[in-house]
């Protein structure tokens, strides 16, 4: 049966510890996807809890009772967030995999966008969308479209050290890429486990971009990601190649291009996937369209 005639299974892992106040919205954003409701995709939602002492477990038990066969969780002490993530990735059965931290959440049509691109583009294995930032109260306060992610610069750590980060909550990959991951190495990461994944994936394939909202990052006090100095130090320990003079020049050029107006980004990188107003998708801007036109 051709893949386009099947329902892709999405495996979404959520590692958490004492995040009861954020869990409900995060989990519902996974389970309530339009593509799941209309039968175009399936989902398994795997929450790996590190032994929470708040009411996280009671929330997870409720979701498991209400969503048998779709939602599951475990709760036991672990070595940290990426130990929990490694446990979840080992259990994942899906065609498409991602992870979503407690507090972050997906746009309702996220799976439909990812499904469409993966089904119609069999050579695309790794995808990200707009960077979307929410504040503590859930207000969307910043939206940015990435310009381009170059594989060799990903592996050198340029995205995060000198260029914008790859936004984890808006990034999905085919399960086959997990063959590149050493789960013990991932479990040992304290802060930069996401970069370890990107470093491994970039050794095999390109990260493609879609001009669509997929997921958003919610800022709130006490997050691991607020310790950027330690995060970047850990990134440097994962990097396996040093930039050349040409690479440094490329970073300077790309830094300028990342500051381009949002409407200009797809013109600078015509391989960004774009959905039309009417239907379907396109990888190129129609000829004759004027700058800034609606």
- pLDDT on residue 220: 67
- pLDDT on residue 227: 75
Q: Check if the beta carbon of residue 238 is closer than 8 Å to that of residue 157.
A: yes
pLDDT in tens, 106-139: 999 999 999 999 999 999 999 999 999 999 888 8
Residue 252's SS3 state is helix
**What's the pLDDT band for 273 if we cut at 50, 70, 90?**
very high
Inter-axis angle of helices 228-238 and 193-202, to 10 degrees?
30
pLDDT in tens, 31-62: 999 999 999 999 999 999 999 999 999 999 99
**What does pLDDT average to over the chain?**
91
Q: Cα separations (Å) of 196 from 7, 76, 81, 217?
A: 29, 24, 13, 19
**Using CA atoms, how far apart are residues 56 and 25, in angstroms rounded to an integer?**
13
**What's the pLDDT band for 224 if we cut at 50, 70, 90?**
low
Mean pLDDT, to the nearest integer, of 81-89?
98
Q: Check if the beta carbon of residue 141 is closer than 8 Å to that of residue 133.
A: yes
Name the DSSP class of 123: T
Tell which residue, 26, 32, 80, 36, has the closest CA to residue 216: 26
CATH of domain 3-282: 3.90.550.10
- pLDDT on residue 138: 84
Tell which residue, 98, 106, 103, 83, has the closest CA to residue 191: 83
- pLDDT on residue 1: 37
Mean pLDDT, to the nearest integer, of 227-243?
92
Q: Among 71-80, 164-173, 226-235, whose mean pLDDT is lowest?
A: 226-235
Q: Among 43-52, 139-148, 170-179, whose mean pLDDT is lowest?
A: 139-148
- pLDDT on residue 287: 45
Does residue 288 register a pLDDT over 50?
A: no
Does residue 284 register a pLDDT over 70?
A: no
- The stretches of the chain forming alpha helices (DSSP H) are 20-31, 34-37, 56-66, 81-91, 110-120, 151-155, 158-161, 183-187, 193-202, 228-238, 245-258, 265-268
- pLDDT on residue 156: 96
- pLDDT on residue 219: 83
- pLDDT on residue 279: 63
Q: Among 69-78, 84-93, 274-283, whose mean pLDDT is lowest?
A: 274-283
**What's the pLDDT band for 285 if we cut at 50, 70, 90?**
low
Q: Cα separations (Å) of 258 from 44, 133, 248?
A: 35, 17, 15
pLDDT in tens, 145-155: 999 999 999 99
**Domain ranges (residues) in the chain:** 3-282
**Using CA atoms, how far apart are residues 68 and 87, in angstroms rounded to an integer?**
20
**What's the pLDDT band for 2 if we cut at 50, 70, 90?**
very low
Whole-model pTM? 0.92
**Using CA atoms, how far apart are residues 105 and 170, in angstroms rounded to an integer?**
9
């Amino acid at each position: 049966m051709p893949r386009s005639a099947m329902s892709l299974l999405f495996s979404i892992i959520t590692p958490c510890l004492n995040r009861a106040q954020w869990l409900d919205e995060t989990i519902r954003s996974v389970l309530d996807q339009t593509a799941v409701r209309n039968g175009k995709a399936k989902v398994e939602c795997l929450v790996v809890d590190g032994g929470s002492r708040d009411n996280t477990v009671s929330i997870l038990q409720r979701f498991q009772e209400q969503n048998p066969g779709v939602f599951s969780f475990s709760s036991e002490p672990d070595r940290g967030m990426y130990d929990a993530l490694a446990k979840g990735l080992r259990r994942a059965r899906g065609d498409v995999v991602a992870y979503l931290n407690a507090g972050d959440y997906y746009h309702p049509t996220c799976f439909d966008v990812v499904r469409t691109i993966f089904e119609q583009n069999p050579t695309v294995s790794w995808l990200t969308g707009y960077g979307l930032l929410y504040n503590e109260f859930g207000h969307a306060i910043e939206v940015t479209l990435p310009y381009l992610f170059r594989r060799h610069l990903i592996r050198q750590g340029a995205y995060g050290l000198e260029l914008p980060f790859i936004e984890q909550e808006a990034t999905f990959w085919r399960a086959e890429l997990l063959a590149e991951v050493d789960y013990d190495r991932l479990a040992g990461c304290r802060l930069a486990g996401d970069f370890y994944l990107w470093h491994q994936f970039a050794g095999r394939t390109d990260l493609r971009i879609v001009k669509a909202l997929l997921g958003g990052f919610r800022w709130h006090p006490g997050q691991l990601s607020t310790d950027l100095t330690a995060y970047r130090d850990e990134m440097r320990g994962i990097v396996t190649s040093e930039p050349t003079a040409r690479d440094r020049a490329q970073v300077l050029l790309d830094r300028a291009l990342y500051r381009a107006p949002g409407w200009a980004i797809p013109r600078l990188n015509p391989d960004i996937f774009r959905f039309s107003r009417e239907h379907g998708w396109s990888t190129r801007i129609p000829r004759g369209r004027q700058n800034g036109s609606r």
